[in-house]
Amino acid sequence: MKKIARGYTLNECPPVGEAIPLSIQQIVVLIFNVLPVPLLIGGGIGLNAAEITILVAGCLLVTGIATILQTIGAGPIGAKLPIPLESSFVFVAPGIAFGMQYGLDVFTGACLIGSIVTLFLWTVFHKQLSRLFKPYITGAVVMALGLSLCGVGIGYCAGGTGSADYGAPVNLMLAFGTILIMVLLNHFGRKNFLSKASPLIAILVMSAISAGFGKLDLSAIATEAWIRVPQPLHFGIRFEVGPIITITVLSFFALVELMGDQASAAMLAQNRLPSDRETRGGILAQGISSVISSAFNMVPTISGSANIGLCGISGVTSRFITAIAGVVVALCGLCPKLCAVFSAIPEPVLGGVALTAFGTILVSGMNVIKGSELDARTTTIVGISLAVGVGFSMVADALSAFPFWVSSILSGVPGTAITAVVLSLLLREKKMEESV
């Protein structure tokens, strides 16, 4: 994979005039990725509007703080790569299920204990676990992530799941227009600012066009409050063994996804795999931020794959741009009116950006796998693990006869990671014997 020549590199900080628009496109994608998590969990368990607002505020504040910690770092904490940390979709279904069965206080307790246990295991056994998760395994995980996210991107392109005009031709036209603008700007403006800001330009142009179709609603900006202070442990905290085990397993494999995203980010930024220091720092940042997130009534954090894909689209891999996005998202957690500005962007327009970014993630996973030595053994491991993880996520009903936790760990990224690790242990690697 050739290193993208245009844009700003990992440790370059663009001038203010360019940093602001470049960070805005990262902010838009990051906010749209995390907002559905508290909204889906809160709505799924029947919280009122005021209680859902508390979840949203905590989610945005923690996402911003966690992103700053991951990109800028604090001592050994943080990978210092252009990787945001955000609330994970992986925990939405468990959050609704456990919230309805036990209450949100039990789910909060499970997220807190699961985050602490995962942080401990990955910190103490970092070297052993890093050796276990070979590059071809992390590459398979990234591919599974990209494949599963493409469905999410298509959902946005169609107008957003549950929308009254889902799948309407005008929605797909707006999404296609967004993709077309980015492609043209990237191709013809390869050596200037137009290519770097292509997602933002596409969003602005297509949002304006969306207004002509009645798709741009700015009313929420006026009605939102200026200040909203997040409330930690607002719903209390209790502990139940079953939910704790499920969330711990999911949290553990969320860190495998982080390792894959670190490989993608390092490959995009400097055409290399992440160093041991970067890997360890990234794990510490995600583990610590997951503990903080749990305290603010939210789910554990996970790396923001769509934003990493956005780096691939724009060619801007500066970690400082991602850090600026973290600062603004944290402010959105304190200022709902600011958040409403970004939330007004029509979902089909965002879908065009997201789908392109997710495709970049998919290709990044392929490149990580391609960089490994693909013999018959590794090809079998990668192929079967992808078939299991992606297959079960596509046909969720296949596991309907099993307990909920089984479907949670066998579908998508967890299923791909678990299958790859088990096969890697069963199919022992043959060492070349040197002839004397």
**Single-letter amino acid, residue 63:** T
Chain-centre distance for alpha carbon 198? 21
pLDDT at res. 329: 87
Q: Burial level of 311, CB count in 10 A (0-12/13-18/19+)?
A: buried
Report the length, in residues, of the chain.
436
Contact predicate 399/410, CB 8 Å: yes
Residue 68, pLDDT score: 93
pLDDT at 69: 92
What SS3 string covers the chain? CCCCCCCCCCCCCCCHHHHHHHHHHHHHHHHHHHCHHHHHHHHHCCCCHHHHHHHHHHHHHHHHHHHHHHHCCECCECCCCCCCEEECHHHHHHHHHHHHHCCHHHHHHHHHHHHHHHHHHHHHCHHHHHHHCCHHHHHHHHHHHHHHHHHHHHHHHCCCCCCCCCCCHHHHHHHHHHHHHHHHHHHHCCCCHHHHCHHHHHHHHHHHHHHHCCCCCCHHHHHCCCCCCCCCCCCCCCCCHHHHHHHHHHHHHHHHHHHHHHHHHHHHHHCCCCCHHHHHHHHHHHHHHHHHHHHCCCCCEEECHHHHHHHHHHCCCCHHHHHHHHHHHHHHHHCHHHHHHHHCCCHHHHHHHHHHHHHHHHHHHHHHHHCCCCCHHHHHHHHHHHHHHHHHHHCHHHHCCCCHHHHHHHCHHHHHHHHHHHHHHHCCCCCCCCCC
400/404 Cα distance (integer angstroms): 8
Q: How many CB atoms lie within 10 A of CB 126?
A: 15
Region of residue 271 (phi > 0: left; psi between -120 and 50: alpha; otherwise: beta): left
Model pLDDT, residue 414: 77
pLDDT at 4: 39
Q: Which residues of 169-196 are buried (b: 16+ CB within 10 A; e: fewer)?
A: eebbebbbbbbebbeebbeebeeebebb
Domain ranges of the chain: 16-365
Q: Which residues pair with 86 in a beta bridge?
A: 302
pLDDT recorded at residue 112: 92
293 with 64: CB under 8 angstroms?
no
Residue partners of 278: CB distance under 8 A and separation at least 6: 79, 80, 81, 262, 266
Q: What confidence score (pLDDT) does residue 223 get?
A: 72
Backbone angles phi, psi at 86, to 5 degrees: -145, 165
Beta-bridge partner residues of 302: 86
Mean pLDDT by 10 residues, the chain (436 residues): 54 79 80 74 71 81 92 88 82 77 88 91 79 78 76 79 79 88 74 65 83 76 74 86 81 76 80 83 90 89 79 80 88 76 74 77 76 81 89 81 76 81 82 43
Predicted pLDDT at 247:
84
For residue 122, the model assigns a pLDDT of: 82
Tokens of 6: 């245009």
Residue 37 neighbours by CB under 8 Å, 6+ apart: 59, 87, 88, 89, 91, 92, 298, 299
* pLDDT for the residue 339: 65
Round to whole Å and give the CA distance between 324 and 327: 5
Structure-token pair, residue 189: 């403006």
Q: How far lies 242's CA from each of 90, 159, 320, in Å? A: 17, 37, 40
What is the distance between the alpha carbons of residues 326 and 202, in angstroms, rounded to a whole number?
22
